[in-house]
Structure 1
Amino acid sequence: MKNSYNPSPQIATNIEPASRPLPLNKTTFVQRNSRVFQARESWDRLFDEAYRADVEIHTDSHDVVIYGHASILGFASPVFRSMFKKSRTKHQVLIHGVPLEAVRTFIRFLYSSCYEEEQIEEHILSLLVLSHAFVVPQLKRECEYQIEHRLLNVDNVVDVFQLSLLCDAPRLGIICNRFILKCFDAASTSAGWKAMRASHPHLEKKLIVSLKNENNRRKEMMRKLTDRKVYLELYEAMEALVHICRDGCRTIGPQGKVLKEEQEPCRYEACKGLESLLRHYFGCKLRVPGDCTHCKKMWQLLELHSRICTDSNVCRVPSCRKIMRAKSITGAPYFTLASS
């Protein structure tokens, strides 16, 4: 029986290598597609075995050399591609200032787009710098995501803030800025803050200015919330005043109005307080001289109502027409300091 396999060179040239997979956490990878899994294993094995490697990567650990392939590294990073074009014979890359394992994790990612969870947690800042320096946007986005959602804390937030400015990561910088302002006392005593004060004092001043602006913004927001609360209370008081003087409420109302004490609870919360205030106002003997504080409050409510009343001729609120006529005769301003 003849073997149907024909190792024709024409057929062999049509076989394309498996494409580089998308970024994925290797420890949480689910084998949904065996071909993708095999491709990842092939890329990892190629990096580990360094078969026909033509690139030497040297780090601060002089006794250890990481080997790679110029075609793969140049395809994954335009910076590597530019470096290899300048020297076509022997490719040597020097990477200083980062740990050896961070460089190894970075190069492995360029091969298989995978990473170990423990490695990225330990060397997240170094990987962020490497991904920015060698223009690897996939790894850079992954580092920013991991820092933002998992790895940002009081101890490293100042370092991450400085790196976000150096690595052109504006979103991460904003998140770090907010985190520092939220935990300023703890962040300002960290080792990263002391190092920043020595190396970049202008950043410390920038954060202090941001803190002052944030405090002013919060004070302004609280003032507006307080004013809004006062306006709502005044609005409810005006509505309740009209309700009492026009419709009547439980035990108080206009003359000739039949009141029912056992009626349903009033929907105006201010009615109960206004009821006692009105009873005091009409029975107080000191309201004419102006020595009673309760009567002053009631008079301010009546004066405020008269200013917003649309038809004082039919209004049932006490003194509404009288106050409106007095203001029109004297030519008093719409609002006065006495009524504020």
Structure 2
Amino acid sequence: MSTPTTDPTGFQRDPDAGNDAAAAQPADVQILVAGKRRIPAHSSVLSSASPVFESMLERPQKRGGDDCVVIPINGVPYDAVNAFVRLIYSARWAVEETAIGEHGVHLLVLSHVYQVAWLKRTCERALASQLAAEGVVDVLVLARRCDAPWLHLRCMKLIAEDFAAVKRSEAWRFLQENDPFLELDILQAIQDTHSSQKRRRRRRMEQRLYTELGEAMECLQHICTEGCTEVQPSGREAPPRDGGAGCPNPATCRGLQHLIRHLASCDRKKKLNGCPRCKRLWQLLRLHASICDQPEACKVPLCS
């Protein structure tokens, strides 16, 4: 079995995991970062991980000591660039989100710029797991600039859910002063989200209402045709069925029987003044009459 080796970036890697042949060779690339510090690397590893590195290494480049190609990466801290190179050398397509550490923002930018897709997805998940109201606006701006739609949606979801806390953050105040167009986009997206939620709630309420009305129509037909525990069809003297056996919906059937018994005993003055319980039963009777299509005489009262 081969033994672990140390590559120029300081990784302890198992050669069986990949990139072992490249690591055994001298570094032929120097990545120049802030403070004129250099990170040695191998062109074959960088080219296989990133099409941007591959295109850069195919062009003539400035060469440093030992005839190495020098690739500058400016504006990013040394530790973040070093972590970026280390993750590329890990030769994995599934890095734990905890490995991203405190450099998640810089790693997302680097993975976007150099088109390291698997690392970019991992950075998105890591940043999404750390989202908070105080910093979500900054992450949202970053997601827009780095073309990270999944992370963008997660940010918008958090903003819509906790907009009161987001408005109190310094990042939101900075956004209002410097990017009113993005502020307008966010507000419009929040309004669209709330409108969509209202529409879904309204559809659920309507569906529930239609279901309840359908059950009530079925129970009304059942009571007036077959009879049930407390109410029998007109002219029928058979004893009520035990426990409402055969009821299409026992709970709805019991409530409808109470309405029928109330209508029979309700005071006439209350009826004339609009008794709500009587009115509810009259509405059910009218609804049944409007949709009844029985070819023979229907036994539901007032259907004809």
TM-score normalised to the size of structure 2? 0.79
Q: Which secondary structure does the structure 2 equivalent of 1:320 belong to? A: coil
Amino acid at match of 1:231: Y
1:99 partnered with 2:88: no
Distance in 2 separating the partners of 1:262 and 1:116:
64
Amino acid at match of 1:36: D
Match of 2:5 in 1: none
**Distance of aligned partners of 1:211 and 1:223 in 2 relative to their CA distance in 1, 3 Å threshold:** same
Match of 2:121 in 1: 141
Amino acid at match of 2:243: Q
Match of 2:207 in 1: 228
Name which of 264, 271, 274 aligns with 2:253.
271
Match of 1:86 in 2: 60
**Distance of aligned partners of 1:215 and 1:118 in 2 relative to their CA distance in 1, 3 Å threshold:** closer
Distance in 1 separating the partners of 2:291 and 2:103:
66
> What is the aligned length?
283
Distance in 2 separating the partners of 1:156 and 1:72:
35
Match of 1:19 in 2: none
Q: CA deviation at 1:75?
A: 4.1
Name which of 123, 126, 131 aligns with 2:106.
126
Distance in 2 separating the partners of 1:116 and 1:171:
18
Q: Percent same amino acid at aligned positions? A: 35
**Distance of aligned partners of 1:58 and 1:200 in 2 relative to their CA distance in 1, 3 Å threshold:** farther
Distance in 2 separating the partners of 1:279 and 1:116:
68
Q: CA deviation at 1:154?
A: 3.3
Distance in 1 separating the partners of 2:291 and 2:122:
59
CA deviations 1:241-288 (Å, max 9, x no partner) are 111111111121112241236435643322222222222323445279
Name which of 297, 300, 304 aligns with 1:317.
300
Contact 1:236 1:268 in 2 (8 A): no
Contact 1:290 1:296 in 2 (8 A): no
Q: CA deviation at 1:52?
A: 4.4
Contact 1:286 1:292 in 2 (8 A): no
Contact 2:33 2:78 in 1 (8 A): yes
TM-score normalised to the size of structure 1? 0.71
Contact 1:287 1:296 in 2 (8 A): no
The within-5 A match list for 1:27-66 is: 35-37=15-17, 39=18, 52-60=26-34, 62=35, 64-66=37-39
Name which of 173, 188, 191 aligns with 2:167.
188
Distance in 2 separating the partners of 1:76 and 1:124:
18
Contact 2:76 2:106 in 1 (8 A): yes
Contact 1:248 1:257 in 2 (8 A): no
Contact 1:252 1:259 in 2 (8 A): no
Match of 1:297 in 2: 280
Q: CA deviation at 1:211?
A: 0.9
CA deviations 1:179-211 (Å, max 9, x no partner) are 221222223333433343344332221111111
1:68 partnered with 2:41: yes
Contact 2:97 2:125 in 1 (8 A): no
RMSD: 3.1
Q: Which secondary structure does the structure 1 equivalent of 2:40 belong to? A: strand
Contact 1:106 1:130 in 2 (8 A): yes
Amino acid at match of 2:261: R
Q: Which secondary structure does the structure 2 equivalent of 1:66 belong to? A: strand
Contact 2:19 2:45 in 1 (8 A): no
- Which protein shows a greater Rg? 1
Contact 1:248 1:259 in 2 (8 A): no
Q: Which secondary structure does the structure 2 equivalent of 1:263 belong to? A: helix
Distance in 2 separating the partners of 1:279 and 1:200:
67
Distance in 2 separating the partners of 1:288 and 1:202:
60
Match of 1:286 in 2: 268
Distance in 1 separating the partners of 2:191 and 2:56:
46
The within-5 A match list for 1:102-251 is: 102-113=80-91, 120-148=100-128, 150-251=129-230
